[in-house]
Structure 1
Amino acid sequence: MEYLEFELPIKELQEQYEKACAIGKDSEVDVSSTCKQIEKKLSDTKKEIYKNLTAWQRVQLSRHPNRPYTLDYINALCDGNFLELHGDRNVKDDKAMVGGLGKIGDQSFMIIGQQKGYNTKTRQYRNFGMANPEGYRKALRLMKSAEKFGIPVLTFIDTPGAYPGLEAEERGQGEAIARNILEMTRLKTSVFVVVIGEGASGGALGIGVGDKVMMLENSWYSVISPENCSSILWRSWDHKEQAAEALKLTAKDAKKLEVIDSIIKEPIGGAHSNREEMFKTLKKVVLESYEEVKNLSPEELIKTRMDKYSNMGVFKG
């Protein structure tokens, strides 16, 4: 188990608890009361720390190496009933963007999302979750197929941004993202969006327009990452904590600003601390969200979706 800097008090208590329990097993000394005391203190410390997280600490949790990624959620939610589809029928198959047909409960979904890697080799293979234009065009191809057959679309956002390389710009990165935003506003099937980790810049928006947009409690959603914001405004990464607060990038901020529709609660310690609980919660939320809109006609879906986005940023004096 890896611990972040602000989680070190939890790490110390966890080690004390494990040592005390080990002593009880290896000897005849009764340490049950000591174990209970440490366990209670550990529980209280966890609640206190995770109740008062700063924006920067939530950014750190969203990047935790043990946090579930898109394919983890897909495999858990679909219980093996997932068929991955590849390629944009133009350039190549972008490994940073995954998608395909999956069944959650009794309902089929077209599931699309950015995928990061677990180690150096897979991170390079997945391009660190940064999609090229062909990734967004693959996503659009899959969404159009879902529209054709009346299948709801579910997208998972987890990216530090779209790939900014020269070759990506040459192949029309900006146009691909803009096209996706346009097409998603008028898609004739229901669209559900979940920010599961990082939701940065146009890379997130390229698959981020939906009837229901949700964020996990310790994810973030912003026009720019705190580090890049700090480097632009202060010419240094040293002010990233200050930038994170100013950007209003947490789920609570996004809900207050009506950028998203709801916040999905995570287990204490983050999604990685209890994966099974997180998977169950997300499955329940996705199916409930589908039930809310499943009886709307395509015209009603599009009108409601368009109205929602048209009203964002409108000031009522």
Structure 2
Amino acid sequence: MEYLEFELPIKELEEQLDKCQIIGKESDVDVTETCKQIEKKLAETKKEIYKNLTAWQRVQLSRHPNRPYTLDHIKALCGDSWLELHGDRNVKDDKAMIGGLGKIGDQSYMFIGQQKGYNTKTRQYRNFGMSNPEGYRKALRLMKSAEKFGIPVVTLIDTPGAYPGLEAEERGQGEAIARNILEMTRLKVPIITVIIGEGASGGALGIGVGDKVLMLENTWYSVISPESCSSILWRSWEYKEQAAEALKLTAKDMKRMKLVDQIIKEPLGGAHTDREKTFIAVRDAIVSSYEELKNLSPKQLVKQRMEKYEHMGVFKD
């Protein structure tokens, strides 16, 4: 189990509890009462820490190395029905963007999302979840296939941003993301978007236009990461915590500003502390969202989606 800096008091208490239990097993000393006291203090500490998380601490939780990634969610949701599809039919298969068909119950969905790696080797293989233009073009190809066969689309967002390399720009990174945003606004099937980790910049928006946009509790969604914002405004990463607060990037902020439709509650301590509970919550939210959308005609879907995004923000003529 890996602990973040603000979780160190929890780590200390859990270590004390482990030692206490070991003493109880290996000796004749009755430590039942001591263990109960430590357990009580541990529960109170957890509640206190996770009840008062700052924006930066939620950003840290969204990046926790044990947090379930896109493929973890898809495999938990679909089981053996998951069939991954590859390639943009133009350049190559982008490993940072995955997609394919799967079933939740009896309903088929087209799943699309960014995939990060679990260790150094797989992180390089997945390009740290940062897609190239061909990844967004693959995503669009799969969305168009879903539209052709009347299959709803589910997108899972978890990216620090689109890949910013020179070769990505040469192959039309900006155009690929803009094209996806345009095409998603007029796709004639339901689109359900779930932010399961980081939702940064155009990299997230490239698969982020949805009829229903859902956010897990300890995730973030913003035009820029706190570190990058800090480096632009203060010429240093030291002010990332201030930047995180100023950006209003948490799920609560997004819901208050009506930029997302629903917050999916996570287990105490984050999605990684109880994966099964998280997967069930995400599944229920997807199924519930689809139930609201499935009876709308293609024309109604597009009209409602366009109106939703037209009403975002504050402006003057």
Equivalence map 1:166-315=2 (5 Å): 166-314=166-314
Q: CA RMSD in A?
A: 0.8
Instruction: Give distance in 2, aligned partners of 1:177 and 1:315.
Output: 24
Name the counterpart of 2:72. Answer: 72
Partner deviation per Cα, 1:60-113 (whole Å, 9 max, x = no partner): 000000000000000001122100000000000000000000001111100000
Name the counterpart of 2:148. Answer: 148
Name the counterpart of 2:54. Answer: 54
Name the counterpart of 2:4. Answer: 4
TM-score normalized with structure 1 length: 0.99
Shift of 1:267: 0.2
SS of the aligned residue for 1:210 comes to: coil
Partner deviation per Cα, 1:205-249 (whole Å, 9 max, x = no partner): 000000000100000000000000000000000000000000000
Instruction: Give distance in 2, aligned partners of 1:237 and 1:149.
Output: 47
1:18 is aligned to 2:18: yes
Partner deviation per Cα, 1:145-174 (whole Å, 9 max, x = no partner): 000000000000000000000110000000
Amino acid at match of 1:298: P
Instruction: Give distance in 2, aligned partners of 1:105 and 1:40.
Output: 40
SS of the aligned residue for 1:84 comes to: strand
Amino acid at match of 1:25: K
Instruction: Give distance in 2, aligned partners of 1:222 and 1:115.
Output: 19
Instruction: Give distance in 1, aligned partners of 2:241 and 2:293.
Output: 39
Q: 176-185 or 281-290, which moves further after superposition? A: 281-290
Instruction: Give distance in 2, aligned partners of 1:112 and 1:9.
Output: 38
Shift of 1:314: 3.2
Amino acid at match of 2:291: E
Q: After the TM superposition, which segments of 4 or more aligned residues of structure 1 sit over 2 Å from their partners? A: none
SS of the aligned residue for 2:214 comes to: strand
Structure 2 unaligned runs (5+)?
none
Shift of 1:312: 0.4
Instruction: Give distance in 1, aligned partners of 2:286 and 2:114.
Output: 18
SS of the aligned residue for 1:242 comes to: helix
Instruction: Give distance in 2, aligned partners of 1:314 and 1:151.
Output: 34
Instruction: Give distance in 2, aligned partners of 1:162 and 1:299.
Output: 31
Instruction: Give distance in 1, aligned partners of 2:106 and 2:39.
Output: 40
Equivalence map 1:72-151=2 (5 Å): 72-151=72-151
Structure 1 unaligned runs (5+)?
none
